[in-house]
Structure 1
């Protein structure tokens, strides 16, 4: 197996970088969230069909941003996630399903991530990231909408990075769990921190644009532009 520190794409764990037991375990943990998300998406479309455009926009935004590869100091790459926008507009359960679809297509079409590691990637990017993003939105939106969106995207991205680093540390910790976790976190931080800032700024710009063309839909979702 290749050196996981120097070869893995941190935000999308590649095929073969997790032991079978870890891959299965993360799939089992992520599965209930994905099922719940699929139900939430179906309910959203049935009750508010007018929001299909925004749902598609959230999915496309996540796909495009999370498919980007930014070189890191390790010789590997880091990635934005794009889940903060959808988490704010549709709440986290919807993003668990959308992220699963995005990650599945990326694994099949772009060799980005993997099928065996899908559960781990979904849990980090589709479960933890959106819930942290939504929590930060609730905490900061009273300051201003822009601040709320920025914090949601920034912390959603960073939390995904932290969880993925811990997942890798659990799988590859020959030098000790804490040491491995520190290695993954520190080596990717120089890339991931500024990347999270850029993602947050882009998310603010995209939300501003959507708020000008989809005011009725955002009101249906309970989001004040």
Structure 2
């Protein structure tokens, strides 16, 4: 992969932003992948937005380093963002204040790491909120955290662990994409449960209810996303080997064929 190590200045800036996010985002009523406009209380919208800040700052530095070392990586970066936009726009309505759809973030996390995907996801969510009325501007922070931060981090972790365990690469890609998708909806359910705890049973009961509503549609969608991601990576390995070499993926992949 490309060199993603931060400079001391960048680490200090990200750390400072994280401290501010924790101090501002841990109010007593921090409630809260596309939660619709106006569905979350105002303090929840602000809190989730603030919590996203250090991750987005790290993502900005990650993309800047990637493009500084190789401008041609912009092609794959743009493709990863376009994949997120297209695949996450195909939504299946749910009976709650959200919807079920694939996320597409696993591909970017595998190629560039989770930090870069936070920026790609934010851009996608912003365009979808403005152009497609999918999600919302007030809930942008909550949606960004679940789809563009939490999901990609788990996808990257699973891919990294599978690589260390010498698990078949295509199986690793499938697991990373599928489980990252499911984790996004686990986080969304938690966000909704925090905002609207059940009168009987509180947060846990509400979270289980939201998870139960999402599960019937999201489980098959996660499997489909895992398969699609594998197919796209195979296509990239066939037709875009020079570009993959530029970001270090091709060399890394050969270490655990």
Instruction: Give the count of matched residue pairs.
Output: 215
The match for 1:122 among 144, 149, 154 is 144
Superposition CA RMSD, Å: 1.5
Does residue 218 of the first structure (1) align with residue 253 of the second (2)? Answer: no
Aligned to 2:184: 160
Moved more, 34-43 or 179-188: 34-43
* Distance in 1 between residues matched to 2:183 and 2:98, nearest whole Å: 19
Whether the 8 Å CA contact 1:133–1:152 is kept in 2: the answer is yes
Deviations, residues 166-218 of structure 1 (Å, cap 9, x unaligned): 00000011421111000000111011111100010011111111111221222
Bigger Cα Rg: 2
Does residue 69 of the first structure (1) align with residue 91 of the second (2)? Answer: yes
Aligned to 1:197: 223
| 3-state SS, counterpart of residue 49 of structure 1 | coil
Aligned to 2:111: 89
Aligned to 2:19: none
Whether the 8 Å CA contact 2:35–2:97 is kept in 1: the answer is no
Q: Which runs of 5+ in 1 are unaligned?
A: 1-10
TM-score by length of 1: 0.91
Deviations, residues 90-134 of structure 1 (Å, cap 9, x unaligned): 000000000000000000000000111101111111111111000
Aligned-residue offset at 1:148: 1.2
Aligned-residue offset at 1:73: 6.7
Aligned to 2:213: 187
Does residue 171 of the first structure (1) align with residue 192 of the second (2)? Answer: no
Relative to structure 1, the CA distance from residue 199 to residue 216 in structure 2 (aligned partners, 3 Å threshold; closer, same or farther) is same
Whether the 8 Å CA contact 1:73–1:191 is kept in 2: the answer is no
| 3-state SS, counterpart of residue 112 of structure 1 | coil
* Distance in 2 between residues matched to 1:107 and 1:75, nearest whole Å: 15
Q: Which runs of 5+ in 2 are unaligned?
A: 1-32
Moved more, 68-77 or 95-104: 68-77
Does residue 32 of the first structure (1) align with residue 76 of the second (2)? Answer: no
Tell me which stretches of 4 or more aligned residues in structure 1 moved more than 3 Å: 71-77
Deviations, residues 119-168 of structure 1 (Å, cap 9, x unaligned): 11111111111110001101223222211110110111011000001000
